[in-house]
């Protein structure tokens, strides 16, 4: 089920406002037409919410670090189901680029930012 997969990726739908939830399910309907695989749908919705929707709120995440951990979860799914591999590769890169850009603007010493970006690129 997509909602369970979203929770496993770190997005807790119970923490979304009604408006955000409505927009997320509208996106689900449009993705569902294009993606036959339930986990592919969950991955694409998760990335849409985090990167594209402009709705992202860290309070909707299940745990601290959930965005980074989501890549490991996606890769584990792809290891069990090779049909997910192209979606996982594409969407993991999208998340990494998003996080890389966030790090670029972080209020932290430059060395810390560069180190975080290097680790992210290896993820």
Domain map of the chain by residue range? 2-122
CB 67 within 8 A of CB 61: yes
CA pair distance 11, 48, nearest whole angstrom: 12
What is the reported pLDDT for 123? 66
What is the reported pLDDT for 65? 78
Average pLDDT of span 114-120: 74
CB 19 within 8 A of CB 60: no
pTM: 0.85
Contacts 24+ apart (CB under 8 A), 13-19: 13/60, 15/57, 15/59, 15/60, 15/61, 16/57, 16/60
- What are 43-96's pLDDT values in tens digits? 999 999 999 999 988 889 988 778 878 999 999 999 999 999 999 999 999 998
CA pair distance 17, 22, nearest whole angstrom: 9
- What are 9-47's pLDDT values in tens digits? 999 999 999 999 999 999 999 999 988 899 999 999 999
What is the reported pLDDT for 68? 79
> Of 47, 53, 70, 62, which is closest to residue 13 (Cα–Cα)?
62
CA pair distance 20, 16, nearest whole angstrom: 6
Q: Which of the four pLDDT bands, split at 50, 70 and 90, describes residue 114? A: confident
């Amino acid at each position: 089920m997509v909602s369970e997969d979203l929770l496993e990726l770190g997005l807790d739908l119970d923490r979304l406002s009604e408006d955000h939830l409505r927009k997320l399910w509208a996106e689900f309907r449009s993705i569902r037409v294009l993606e036959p695989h339930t986990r592919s749908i969950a991955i694409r919705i998760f990335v849409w919410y985090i990167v594209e929707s402009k709705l992202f709120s860290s309070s909707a995440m299940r745990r601290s670090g959930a965005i980074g951990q989501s890549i490991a979860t996606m890769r584990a799914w792809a290891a069990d189901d090779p049909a997910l591999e192209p979606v996982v590769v594409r969407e993991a890169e999208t998340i990494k680029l998003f996080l890389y850009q966030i790090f670029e603007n972080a209020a932290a010493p430059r060395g810390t930012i560069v180190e975080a970006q290097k680790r992210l690129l290896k993820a």
